[in-house]
């Protein structure tokens, strides 16, 4: 028998469309915080993908997971906040400390099981893992949800996702094993909207009454180079300014990763 230990989450590869051939299952792509849940005897801990222990941030979810009948397990899932239409909203999740009403909308969606009752399950087919997970999560839970497979043909699933305004769909090979920290192509993510992903490459000095930093500097990758795109200076409260600045300070580097460096009043870059 083996003891449960942290596992770096498996990754989904970005794809342009859902696979149409047989042998795939489909799940709703949810926008939250990826979290590995570990139970050992009567102790439950939640870890982000860093990994960072985030158990204290979500005590309700940890308490719910503790009630599950298994002696020990490792689950992969997402911590999400749902809006009034039942859609996941990362912005709501970020605002949970400022609005106590959001707490009732926060859930843990479990979509994979890697370890159960002393046995490693990562090497068995996905369908078997999900069956074990569904049985484990059976019953009424306040904070725990099982991520159900979507029924229907891929084209109909996609049309429905667009109509409901969902972020996207995750496609997974039915017979795939769990591959920690890999993007093998056994899992695919297809987004409903055309999006451009940006990376934070630096920040500017604060001005006026603002503390910590003024704006973040974002860029996009082109041929392995990070090209400057824009400044983003709105949407930060005092807590997020301080939190981000603390993280930036720990990863400073002497040269600017963004090119061209077309900003003024810049300070240390992350």
Active site residues: 29
* Pairwise CA distance, residues 130 & 149, whole Å: 9
How would you class 117 by CB atoms within 10 Å of its CB: exposed for 0-12, middle for 13-18, buried for 19 or more?
middle
Cα 17 to chain centroid, rounded: 21
- What is the token pair recorded at 32? 């939250």
Q: In the chain, at which residue ranges do the beta strands (DSSP E only) sit?
A: 13-14, 24-28, 33-40, 43-47, 72-81, 106-116, 119-120, 144-146, 168-173, 187-191, 199-203, 216-222, 225-232, 258-259
93 near 106, Cβ under 8 Å? yes
């Amino acid at each position: 028998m083996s003891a449960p230990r942290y596992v770096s989450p498996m990754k989904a590869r970005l794809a342009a469309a859902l696979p149409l051939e047989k042998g795939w299952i489909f799940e709703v792509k949810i926008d939250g915080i990826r979290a590995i849940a570990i139970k050992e005897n009567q102790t439950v801990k939640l870890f982000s993908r860093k990994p960072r222990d985030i158990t204290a941030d979500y005590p309700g979810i940890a308490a719910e997971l503790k009630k599950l009948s298994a002696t020990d397990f490792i689950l992969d899932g997402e911590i999400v906040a749902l809006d009034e239409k039942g859609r996941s909203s990362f912005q709501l999740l970020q605002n949970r400390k400022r609005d106590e009403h959001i707490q009732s909308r926060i859930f843990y969606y479990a979509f994979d099981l890697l370890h159960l009752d002393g046995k490693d399950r990562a090497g068995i087919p996905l369908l078997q893992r999900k069956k074990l997970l569904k049985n484990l999560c059976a019953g009424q839970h306040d904070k725990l949800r099982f991520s159900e497979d979507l029924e229907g043909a891929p084209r109909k699933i996609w049309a429905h996702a667009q109509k409901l305004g969902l972020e996207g769909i995750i496609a997974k090979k039915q017979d795939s094993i769990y591959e920690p920290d890999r993007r093998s192509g056994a899992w695919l993510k297809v987004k409903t909207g055309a999006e451009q992903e940006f990376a934070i490459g630096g920040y500017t000095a604060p001005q006026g009454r603002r503390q910590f930093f003024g704006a973040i500097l974002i860029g996009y990758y082109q041929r392995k180079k990070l090209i400057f795109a824009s400044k983003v200076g709105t949407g930060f409260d005092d807590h997020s300014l301080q939190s981000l600045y603390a993280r930036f300070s720990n990863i400073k580097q002497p040269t600017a990763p963004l090119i061209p460096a077309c900003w003024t009043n810049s300070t240390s870059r992350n």
